[in-house]
Amino acid sequence: MPSNKLPKGLTGVAGEYFVAAELSRLGYIASITLRNTRGIDILASNATATRQIAIQVKTNQGSNPEWVLNKKAEIFYADNLFYVFVGLKLSEERPDFYIVPSKVVADFVRNDHKKWLETPGKKGQAHKDNPVRKFRDTERQFLERWDLLGFSYQEVL
């Protein structure tokens, strides 16, 4: 029986295109960067080019609002850098988009990883440090928060 899930490489690419499409649908200019642009997947601006931002896209498949990052996420932030976390659903459904300022992500993953290291494992053992970090939004406070990008909707009209 075939799986409804995309291969990992296609999942990331699909997420980037979904974010670029959604930004375009909202009236903004979105350009997907070349693969050698480290840490930035999309450059976006308002129609008048008076506000530009960089976006890092992370994509998962399924309903769990959790994404895997690496240690770099703890220190990789700027006022004009955002993460858009994409939750792909079945092929006929629109994905979920979680728009989060990079500083919020950095603080979350740093604190969450520290807490994980301090919490004993299932058998009481200490967790070993590793580069894996996770961001999650179980409260869904960043779901569809396109307004956090700082683009004015009046600029589109």
Task: Give pLDDT tens digits along the chain (157 positions).
Answer: 345 788 888 899 999 999 999 999 999 999 999 876 788 999 999 988 899 999 999 999 988 899 999 999 999 999 999 999 999 987 788 999 999 999 999 999 999 999 999 999 899 999 999 999 999 999 999 999 999 999 875 555 4
Nearest to 81 by CA among 112, 115, 37: 37
Residue partners of 33: CB distance under 8 A and separation at least 6: 40, 41, 42, 43
Q: Where are the domains of the chain?
A: 8-152
pLDDT at 140: 95
Fold of the CATH domain 8-152: Trna Endonuclease; Chain: A, domain 1 (3.40.1350)
Task: Look at residue 151 in the predicted model and tell me its pLDDT.
Answer: 87
